[in-house]
Amino acid sequence: MHDVTPRKVGLARALSKLGFCSRAQAAQLIRKGKVRINGAVRRDPETPVHPSKDRIEIDGQRIAASEKIYFALNKPRGIVTTASDEKGRETVYALLSADLPWVAPVGRLDKASEGLLLLTNDSEWAARVTAPETHLDKTYHVQVARIADAALLEALKNGIRTKEGETLGVKGASLLRQGERNSWLEIILEEGRNRHIRRMLETLGMEVLRLIRVAIGPLALGDLPKAAVRRLTAEEKLTLDRTMLQNAKNTTPHL
């Protein structure tokens, strides 16, 4: 059997790596005395443990590595990307079937944004998807309350200095279509920061009407209905993995 984690790690992290729950949820269970290692209760989330050798139990049930699962969700506007919300707002978990194993969002989309969101119980894979080194492009279709021109697209590509003093840029910006009072842009980010696109456009005094993520790397949202969830196919997962591997190789400096 493949060793999930070949060395000792903290107990909370081990439960996350095994696909049982998030590290934060694991820490809560541990502090409540619900977790045993080799028969002994442990209340410190950082207790060293070897997931494939030590016997880990929660409420008397032995925990083994879960099957790794990968989902795509078409997130609607008004839903928050978190496990629970202190303001009582609806989260993406309300869209998931109750019989699904635990999964966590890969990165996030803010409440007002829509589109492609990945979910998985494979924490190491999720970390690779969001890591800057893998350079997975994120493609967005953005509706703005203005007629876009070449100067706007050029400004986005050259970078915008926000009021916080941070300079934000995009990998690509192009005009998709426009009406009498608004435009749809396609914006590609290589590495997105918090509210990246919205902050850039707000700095330019532009109102964002809609913001939809339509692709992550080679994986497109396609015709997945709003609020719907589906498993990634083996081919889609493999293509994402190959893209990340190739991007990492291309950016590795040669000695």
What is the average per-residue pLDDT within 21-41?
A: 89
Contacts of 30 (CB under 8 A, 6+ apart): 11, 12, 42, 43, 44, 45, 47
Q: What is the pLDDT confidence band of residue 5, given thresholds at 50, 70 and 90? A: very low
Where do the structural domains in the chain lie, given as residue ranges? 9-62, 70-134+219-251, 138-216
Report whether 75 contacts 229 (CB < 8 A): no
The reply to whether 137 belongs to the active site is: no
Radius of gyration of the chain (CA): 21
Q: Residue 252's pLDDT is what?
A: 58
Percentage of residues in the chain with pLDDT exceeding 70?
Answer: 95
Given this model, what pLDDT does residue 76 score?
Answer: 96
Q: How far apart are CA 147 and CA 230, in angstroms?
A: 36
Quote the mean pLDDT of the chain.
88
- The proportion of the chain whose per-residue pLDDT surpasses 90, expressed as a percent, equals 47
Tell me which of 3, 110, 137, 223 is the catalytic residue: 110
pTM comes to 0.79
Rounded Cα–Cα distance for residues 141 and 208 (Å): 11
**Among residues 128, 102, 124, which one has the least CA distance to residue 2?**
124
Contact assessment for residue 104 and residue 20, using Cβ atoms and an 8 Å cutoff: no
**CA-CA distance, 10 to 33, in Å (whole number)?**
16
Q: If pLDDT is split at 50, 70 and 90, which confidence band does 113 have?
A: very high
Distances, alpha carbon 171 to alpha carbons 151, 245, 248, in Å: 16, 20, 17
Q: What is the CATH number of domain 70-134+219-251?
A: 3.30.70.580
Residue 232 has pLDDT above 80, yes or no: yes
Given this chain, do its domains 70-134+219-251 and 138-216 carry the same CATH topology? Answer: yes
Q: Does residue 251 carry a pLDDT above 70?
A: no
Task: List the beta bridge partners of residue 71.
Answer: 119, 231
Looking at residue 6, its pLDDT comes to 54
Asked if the model's pLDDT at residue 3 lies above 60, the reply is: no
In contact, 12 and 30? CB cutoff 8 Å: yes
- Over residues 90-103, the pLDDT tens digits come to 889 899 888 888 89
Contact (Cβ atoms closer than 8 angstroms) between residue 177 and residue 137? no
Give residue 99's Cα distance to chain centre. Answer: 22
3-state helix, strand, coil in the chain (%, to 5): 25, 30, 45
Mean pLDDT to the nearest integer, 119-147: 91
What per-residue confidence (pLDDT) applies to 223? 95
- Which CATH number is associated with domain 9-62? 3.10.290.10
The CA distance from 168 to 164, in Å, is: 11
Residue 31 near residue 43, CB atoms below 8 Å: yes
At residue 15, does pLDDT exceed 80?
yes
Please tell me the distance from the alpha carbon of residue 115 to that of residue 214, in angstroms, as a whole number: 6
The torsion angles phi and psi of 104, rounded to 5 degrees, stand at: -130, 150
C-alpha distances in angstroms, 83 versus 131, 138, 141, 176?
A: 21, 23, 26, 34
Question: What is the architecture of the domain spanning 138-216?
Answer: 2-Layer Sandwich (3.30)
Mean pLDDT, rounded, for 225-241: 95
